[in-house]
Amino acid sequence: MELKARIFTMAMLAIVFSSPAIAQKSPPAPVSPVLPPAPAPAPAPHHVDLADLLSVAGPFHTFLEYLQKTNVLETFQNQANNTKEGITIFVPKDSAFAALKKTTFANLTQDQLKSLILYHAFPKYYSLAEFNKLSTLNPVTTFAGSQYTLNLTYNMGTIQVKSMWSNPKISSSVYSTRPVAVYEVDKVLLPMQIFKSDPPLAPAPAPAPDAKASDVAPSPTSGKAASAKAKADEKNSSYQMGISIVNYLVLAVSGSLMLLW
């Protein structure tokens, strides 16, 4: 009887463990996906501070002063920092402004002065190498608007930027890294929309005297000294002549005595 009970228990256990619910293995726990590391944030774009650039290069102090006075500096800076097109600026040296009569700019209205400064820039970045192709697209519109255009010439690497009353050349590259290009020009760009005639040049400075008055006209002291020297020389000459005459007479008398002796 005991043997039958054991056999029955073993059979029941075999049935239980062989059932699908028990035999089926539980599914493995889901594996969390391995994500790639997040890319490093892109570096902030390098912005060129135009005021700092023009204050240390040049000298471009006059142009920078007009940029700040007309608030065009903010317009140029925004174009340089916040657009894909960039900007190209033609900057006259201080000597270029000094070559023109002061009333040339003093008589302009605030709007005319602002247009004049805007006239010195293209609303797009151009490297020096691109001016060769750009010159075939004349006239080129400036930042001042469609009426304010420039004509470019490219001849064996020499680039000239022609306005109505001036034809300056690019003398050097101050800064040229996309999206900002700043080029030095040797004259101020003068559009016909502002200047109805060729602005007069500043008067040439008076030539410096060749010699000082003291170098040309003798001073009274030097005149007196020269007069005293002349008198002394004259007196010395007369004294020497008198001695010569006495010596001659002595020799003559001595010769006559020797003959009589």
pLDDT digits (tens, 9 = 90+) for 47-68: 899 999 999 987 999 999 999 9
Cis peptide leading into residue 218 (ω within 30°)? no
Task: Note the pLDDT of residue 201.
Answer: 85
Residues linked to residue 183 through DSSP beta bridges, in sequence order: 90, 173
CATH class of 50-185: mainly beta
Give the integer Cα–Cα distance in Å for 256 and 156.
Answer: 101
At residue 253 the predicted structure's pLDDT band, cuts being 50, 70 and 90, is: very low
Percent of the chain with pLDDT over 90: 54
- Contact between 60 and 91 (Cβ < 8 Å): yes
Higher pLDDT, 234 or 144: 144
In the chain, what are the domain boundaries? Answer: 50-185
Structure tokens at 22: 């028990």
The model carries a pTM of 0.64
Whether the CB-CB separation of 68 and 51 falls below 8 Å is answered with yes
